[in-house]
Amino acid sequence: MKNIIIVLLFFVSTNAFSQSLSKNELSINGFRNPSVGLEFRHKQISYHAGYYPTAFKSGETTNFFKAGATAWFLAVGKKENPSSFYAGASYLRGFNRDYENKNAWGVEAGFRWMVWKGLNVRIGVIGVAAEGEPLQINPTPGISYSFFFK
């Protein structure tokens, strides 16, 4: 019974999602989430790449190259381009501090609020794991502007 309910919820959320979000979106990300760079979304999945600064210690910025994929679900609101939740995974390559020349993996989840037309802000949380380093959990705020295509 539990599996049937999970499958039904998946199909309901998929149908609701596909009816609510635009088919294609290109975002210019100006701050941290998912990175300072570009992101392209087709239906429920987006791909991003760019520069990712974060502070694992107060007053110390650690810099990464970040690329990954994000799944979008549970669209909220009645706007033409509604707000929605997201979850994603990314590859990170460190530029400095303890992560210089190290590979890392990030897993994140959060919410994107569509403020006005293409302007949107995000708030989420990321877990970053790298060999020889402790698991780091950080907030991931972001601001972006998105262009929507059919």
Per-residue pLDDT band for 33 (boundaries 50, 70, 90) equals very high
Q: What structural domains does the chain harbor?
A: 2-149 (2.40.160)
Coil, helix or strand for 64? strand
Q: Is the pLDDT of residue 8 over 70?
A: no
Model confidence at 7: pLDDT above 80: no
With 90 as the cut, is the pLDDT of residue 132 above it?
A: yes
pLDDT by residue (tens digit) across 38-47?
999 999 999 9
Indicate the average pLDDT of the chain: 90
Q: What is the pLDDT of residue 78?
A: 84
